[in-house]
Structure 1
Amino acid sequence: MLRLESLELTDFGPYRGTQKFTFADKPGVELLWGENGRGKTTLLNALRYALFGVVLGRGSLSIDLVTVGNSEAPENAGARGFKTVLAFRYNGHRYKLTRAFKPYDPTRAAISRADFREQLSLLRDGDVLGPEERDRELARLLPKQIGRFFLFDAELLQEYEQLLNAGSEVGERLKDAIERILGVPVLTQARAGVAALLKSARADQAKAAQRDKSTRDLGNSLQLATESADQLRENVRDLTGKVDELTGSVADLEKQLASVTRLRERLGKRNAKREEVERLRQRHDDLLTDLKALSGSAWRAVLEPAAQKMLAQLDEEIDDVTKRRNDAVVAHAATARLAELIAGGQCPTCGQVTDPLQPQATPPGELPVDDPAALDTQLITLRNRQRALRRLKGDASLIARLESEAEQTLVDLSDAEQQLKDLEAQLKDDPGSEAALLDLLDRHANTRVSLGNTKALLAQERRELASKEAAVAKLSDRLAKAGNNETGPQDRKVALLTSLHELLDAAVADFRERLRERIEEDATAVFRVLSAEPDYDRLRINESYGLTILHKDGRPVVNRSSGYEHVVALSLIAALQRCSPMSGPIITDSPFGRLDRKHKRHVLRALPQLTDQVLLLVHDDELDRSVALDELAHSLVAEHHLYRRSARHTEIERGAPA
């Protein structure tokens, strides 16, 4: 069994810098808690990338690796490289698998796949494996086609329903993957090998027969029939490849069509971002126009610091002169009253007669006070200077404010343009408009027609091939019965290989039937643990390994809920783990989203029996921690959580969240 030990990530998605996730070293279930957007799906993708070199988005569509690197990492200022290092054990050996996606030149912007190189290395027990041995070992340990049975999310679970739909392209690919994990290709490849040997033996039989006059005609007929069969076999091989290619294309197109529901949101964001970009461009142009109009007085900005200092001094001087002017007015009024009192001998206020005053040392008209009129003139001059300096300062401040706003608007515009570029990149391969959607539908329909026509042609070629192979076998039997010294050894070889091929043909059919019976039995056992409906009795399997729920009255349950689709899918995955020679960990992202509380408990209870290593990526709204602790009990071997540093920086921490 393959067992994961640790995953080291460097600048992968939100996992900035180098971080390490260490798996528990004993059998059981681990929980990784994280809010939406923190990086649970990215961690699943990091494992997928480490093993298979791919990253999947919604609809199982591949994500461009150029967009995966952490954008906050300082070394990714021009390019977004990343790396994973996966340590694991398998059959007594320790492996370290390193996969990196690096820019050729990290100092400049890297915007396409051509700007990057991928690096891959595999160590087994500390020894580096060469490229060919490395690739063979990885294909043997965990082939890419069966990765979906170990790394999956709720969306992938939903696809298992396609196994019940005859002719479904997704279902056909799933069936092939299931047979691969069950080891069926071992027998089918052996059968193909024997068929190749039998073909070669019959060719030798024909040549031997041509050397004898009595069997020459039969030998010629066998050679012609064999050559015709070879041509038909080549046609079947080419058409099979074409069917596989078209099947993949249809599946990809169907996934794109399934993703249309999210495109409205993306299109809305894209259109809103376009409006924002246009608004910011217009605002930036308006600010530049205003600045251009003020450019003739731009020199004022240079004088602004000196003007500010002069204004402060001028304000103090105006305050001083104003005070002196007010004091002067008061003093002059008092002097006038005093002069009136001296001259008239009568108080100007109360009218009483006063005694004549003694002469003053300084006559009242000669008191040393400022002249208010002179001070008023001085104030007018000072205030005119003040207004001029304030206009100078105001123009400079306006220019500075406009320049600052223009700079900030340009920054905002650059950010908005980059966001728009990212949104448009996301929509590049999606039906981002009505025309694109119609084009996608048209391509899907045309590809399905091409696939149907190719399948029909393949079926016809296979019928002709079967007929020609029957003719070849009949001619070969006639030669064996005619017998001569030339063909005797080849006749016996053909007879032996024919028997062996028939034996393997029967073995493949019997093996498949036994596998289906066992999977049906094991999946039913798991389903009974997971299901909360007592009237659901068992599961029934079809030729494609699709599972149908049977009611206790024996009738199939039709139109089952999305929650039960997940329950059935988990039952199938558990059965495959038990029946497959390839067993490994189960890493699943948000598997409880469509399950009610009772079914969540049942799934938690059954998880430890599925495989020895299980990692659940969940959030607290999806799974109550107290329920998890209660149901998993001693089977819970570790907890981890994702800690937010920023929107683009997540850290993996040991233990449950606070």
Structure 2
Amino acid sequence: MKLQRIEIENFASYYAKSDPIYLDTDPKKPLIIFIGGTGFGKTSLFDAINWALYGEEYESDLLKVKERSIVDYLNETALSEAANDDVRLNMSVTLYFEHDGDNGLKEYYIKQSLLLQPKKDKEGSISAQIVDRNHNLKEITPQGDHETIPYTRTFLDEILPNNVKSYFLFDGDRIHNLAKPGNSQEVQDAIYRVVDLEIVRIACEHLQETAIWYGKRAAKSAKGELGEVENAYSQELKFQNDLKTKIGDIKKERQAIKDQIELIDAKLKDLPETKTLQERKNQLNKELNQNRENQKVLKNQMREEASKAFLGLANVPLKELRDLLKEKRAKGEIPKHIRETFFQDLFDQEECICGTEFVAKEGNPVYDTLMIRLASEKNRSAEEDQLIDLYHVLNNAESIISNSREELTIKEDGVIELEKEEKSLVYQIQEIDAELGELPIEDVTILMSDRKKRKDRDDELIAELSTKQEERINSEKKLKELDDERKALGKKQEEAGAQHLRSELAKQAGDVLNTLYDDFAEKSRKTVEDLTIEEFKQFVISSSGYQVALSKDYSLEVLDSNGNRALQRLSMGQSQCLSLAFITAISRVSRKNPPLVIDMPFSRLDHSVHAAVSQRLPNLADQTILFLIPEVEWNKTTQPNLSKYAKHVYEMYFDETMRQTTITEVK
């Protein structure tokens, strides 16, 4: 999708019907730049583009985020004139664009229009009421005809889905806030929406519901014992699906709590009185995590050694057997059989040890007798070889058991020491928490109290999650048993068996899709992580000392050379560049190839990163529209980097008296 031009009528500070504002770009010049001071109409034009595309859905966003009604955007002068003349007036935005879809490149325009009735109250204040609204979507054919297309979400989702628009049409505040602690849920939502994982999740839920539905039908058509089993299976399947939902809800709540704790820790760290304590606590937490990892490793090793040391319980019979075999070897009883080579020599010479000559062929009495003896000796040979091997194994067993016991003792001592260290670390962290909570600053006390409540709730959720996961495992086992039973009984009842088969197929398909969902989610996270790292390095030249990561719980993280979290130590500019790197990664992952529309991208960025960001912006998308503040964002650093890639540069002027914006193209 690429925007071509926009026409505005009586929207915000744009009076009457404006001349077309051209937004076309080409591969060498992918930028459109609007330059205007605060209040000059930049954000209004940004809102106009959003409203044109999303209509009433964007109106809901305005009400929720900005607490503004779309009627509030009606131009003041136009409203006053219409009220004086007692006439209705229009407010509209028309956006022209092209889209390269499945049927090739086509041109379209979309128009949002309101018909409004002015109203005056007793005090003389003027307001407006919506009388009618229209939204039109039309295709411009090669012959020049304007054909109406149904204004549906299906079409809009193809060009720019509503659930990801905030990652392609965004403002400086989003850049400022995204990399702050506590935004993991928003980061996860962005990835899931852009790669359409929501569709897969809905499909999983539908298959689960289908499996239950067919299970109920199987239960209704079944008779006798099979009916009881089908009912039990159906109830167990529903219970298991409810468990999955509950487990998912618990994980989401835990993530929300984690985000909230991160926000509290960030606030605490900013307070001078807590800085030293908080840094010490962070170090202790790092040591505690490492300690617990070390314990896991040692305990796994202990399990391996214990399985060997356990053989010590059989030491006495093992020793008796080894001594018996040793005694038989000393007496020559093992081995005492005649080897195959001896018989082969007799066959080659065709002469028995008694001097009797014979022909080495079947039918010869001497040859046949020797062959019978050879077969007997072969069987004895294999048995006696096994006894010899057993003797050597028994010889080694005592050494293995002894070594394993020693290793087990050493590792057990190691675990005991680590457990002592763990208790000490936990105690030190609790002491710091207590000290932070007792600081004579009301804010710290409130924050620490809030943090403790959230941590306590998280502990409750961990216990509940463990219980639910155990219930899920048990439910899987029970389902398997019931399924085996219903299969056996279902063979005798054709209708119930058919419904059962459909239920089972739906469940299996849902399970497979769930696995694919998890795998695809992880691959998507890793892809976005790699692209975020790549973009961050281009935005921040001094990033070599930091390692950027998008953790498995979807937190944007920055680690220093020692592996410590360093997000809070980044400058504001570096932190915002991390957000911008993530947004850019999201844009690259999307297959919609959308335009990027960014309102005030530099407004909160340190001037130290203006050069790197302005050099990178022209390469982010095929079309990027920027709204910039003169001097602050359009300055001697950014202007040379951006202007050479700009197809159009517009300056915006605002008449304070008339309360109107005019736009002039300067390039």
- Contact 2:119/2:129 (<8 A) preserved: no
| Number of equivalenced pairs | 442
2:174 to 140, 145, 156: 156
- TM-superposed CA distance for 1:57, in Å, is 7.1
Question: Which secondary structure state, in structure 2, belongs to the residue aligned with residue 43 of structure 1?
Answer: helix
1:147 to 165, 168, 171: 165
Give the letter aligned to residue 216 of structure 1. G
- The 5 A counterparts of 1:90-109 are 90=99, 91=101, 92-103=105-116, 105-106=117-118
- TM-superposed CA distance for 1:553, in Å, is 4.0
Distance 1:521 1:628 in 2: 27
**Distance change in 2, residues 1:591/1:489 (3 Å):** same
Partner in structure 2 of residue 71 of structure 1: 76
**Distance change in 2, residues 1:602/1:80 (3 Å):** farther
2:94 to 85, 96, 113: 85
- The 5 A counterparts of 1:407-446 are none
Partner in structure 1 of residue 204 of structure 2: 191
- The 5 A counterparts of 1:366-445 are none
Give the letter aligned to residue 204 of structure 1. R
2:147 to 94, 106, 127: 127
Question: Which secondary structure state, in structure 2, belongs to the residue aligned with residue 594 of structure 1?
Answer: coil
Distance 1:114 1:643 in 2: 29
- TM-score, scaled to structure 1: 0.59
**Distance change in 2, residues 1:227/1:491 (3 Å):** closer
- TM-superposed CA distance for 1:182, in Å, is 1.9
- Contact 1:183/1:581 (<8 A) preserved: no
Give the letter aligned to residue 49 of structure 1. W
1:583 aligns to 2:593 (yes or no): yes
2:492 to 485, 489, 492: 485
Partner in structure 2 of residue 203 of structure 1: 216
Partner in structure 1 of residue 384 of structure 2: none
Give the letter aligned to residue 207 of structure 2. V
CA RMSD of aligned residues (A): 4.0
Partner in structure 1 of residue 22 of structure 2: 22
- The 5 A counterparts of 1:36-51 are 36-51=38-53
Partner in structure 2 of residue 617 of structure 1: 627
Q: Which ranges in structure 1 are unaligned for 5 or more consecutive residues?
A: 255-440
Distance 2:645 2:155 in 1: 32
- TM-superposed CA distance for 1:476, in Å, is 3.0
1:217-271 C-alpha deviation (Å, 9 max, x unpaired): 31333355467678x599979x98xx99xx9xx99xx9xxxxxxxxxxxxxxxxx
Identical counterparts, % of pairs: 20
Partner in structure 2 of residue 61 of structure 1: 66
Partner in structure 1 of residue 318 of structure 2: none
**Distance change in 2, residues 1:624/1:235 (3 Å):** closer
**Distance change in 2, residues 1:187/1:618 (3 Å):** same
- TM-superposed CA distance for 1:25, in Å, is 3.3
**Distance change in 2, residues 1:233/1:502 (3 Å):** closer
Question: Which secondary structure state, in structure 1, belongs to the residue aligned with residue 637 of structure 2?
Answer: helix
1:595 to 596, 605, 608: 605
Give the letter aligned to residue 46 of structure 1. A
- Contact 1:592/1:623 (<8 A) preserved: yes
- Contact 1:30/1:638 (<8 A) preserved: yes
**Distance change in 2, residues 1:498/1:228 (3 Å):** closer
Distance 1:596 1:67 in 2: 34
- The 5 A counterparts of 1:252-401 are none
1:605 aligns to 2:611 (yes or no): no
1:587-623 C-alpha deviation (Å, 9 max, x unpaired): 1121112323341111111112211111111122213
1:136 to 151, 154, 163: 154
Partner in structure 1 of residue 507 of structure 2: 498
- Contact 1:535/1:552 (<8 A) preserved: no
- Contact 1:88/1:94 (<8 A) preserved: yes
- Contact 1:29/1:635 (<8 A) preserved: yes
- Contact 2:25/2:32 (<8 A) preserved: no
Give the letter aligned to residue 61 of structure 1. K
Distance 1:235 1:554 in 2: 35
Partner in structure 1 of residue 230 of structure 2: 219
- The 5 A counterparts of 1:440-519 are 470=476, 471=478, 474-486=481-493, 487-519=496-528
1:90-149 C-alpha deviation (Å, 9 max, x unpaired): 22232211112332x34767977864543222123432133xx52332244323331111
Question: Which secondary structure state, in structure 2, belongs to the residue aligned with residue 77 of structure 1?
Answer: helix
Partner in structure 1 of residue 6 of structure 2: 7
- TM-score, scaled to structure 2: 0.58
- Contact 2:168/2:587 (<8 A) preserved: no
Distance 2:581 2:89 in 1: 40
Partner in structure 1 of residue 404 of structure 2: none
Distance 1:595 1:235 in 2: 41
Partner in structure 1 of residue 35 of structure 2: 33
| Higher mean C-alpha deviation, range 136-145 or range 466-475 | 466-475
1:655 aligns to 2:666 (yes or no): yes
Give the letter aligned to residue 497 of structure 1. A
1:326-358 C-alpha deviation (Å, 9 max, x unpaired): xxxxxxxxxxxxxxxxxxxxxxxxxxxxxxxxx
Give the letter aligned to residue 221 of structure 1. A
- TM-superposed CA distance for 1:503, in Å, is 1.5
Distance 2:207 2:567 in 1: 43
**Distance change in 2, residues 1:59/1:121 (3 Å):** closer
Distance 1:637 1:540 in 2: 36
**Distance change in 2, residues 1:171/1:124 (3 Å):** farther
Question: Which secondary structure state, in structure 1, belongs to the residue aligned with residue 178 of structure 2?
Answer: helix
- Contact 1:540/1:549 (<8 A) preserved: yes
- Contact 2:176/2:604 (<8 A) preserved: no
**Distance change in 2, residues 1:32/1:224 (3 Å):** closer
Question: Which secondary structure state, in structure 1, belongs to the residue aligned with residue 92 of structure 2?
Answer: strand
Give the letter aligned to residue 96 of structure 2. A
Question: Which secondary structure state, in structure 1, belongs to the residue aligned with residue 602 of structure 2?
Answer: coil
**Distance change in 2, residues 1:173/1:84 (3 Å):** same
Question: Which secondary structure state, in structure 2, belongs to the residue aligned with residue 72 of structure 1?
Answer: helix
- Contact 1:181/1:582 (<8 A) preserved: no
1:564 to 551, 574, 577: 574
- Contact 2:3/2:96 (<8 A) preserved: yes
Partner in structure 2 of residue 523 of structure 1: 532
Distance 1:98 1:458 in 2: 52
Radius of gyration: which is bigger? Answer: 1
Q: Which ranges in structure 2 are unaligned for 5 or more consecutive residues?
A: 141-145, 264-445
- Contact 1:528/1:538 (<8 A) preserved: no
- TM-superposed CA distance for 1:529, in Å, is 0.7
- TM-superposed CA distance for 1:546, in Å, is 3.1
- Contact 1:538/1:549 (<8 A) preserved: yes
- Contact 1:59/1:155 (<8 A) preserved: no
- Contact 1:535/1:551 (<8 A) preserved: no
Give the letter aligned to residue 206 of structure 1. A
- TM-superposed CA distance for 1:156, in Å, is 1.8
Question: Which secondary structure state, in structure 2, belongs to the residue aligned with residue 36 of structure 1?
Answer: coil
Distance 2:483 2:96 in 1: 55
Distance 1:13 1:120 in 2: 19
Partner in structure 2 of residue 283 of structure 1: none
Partner in structure 1 of residue 438 of structure 2: none
Give the letter aligned to residue 7 of structure 2. E
Question: Which secondary structure state, in structure 2, belongs to the residue aligned with residue 533 of structure 1?
Answer: helix
- Contact 1:235/1:461 (<8 A) preserved: no
- TM-superposed CA distance for 1:541, in Å, is 0.3
Partner in structure 2 of residue 178 of structure 1: 191
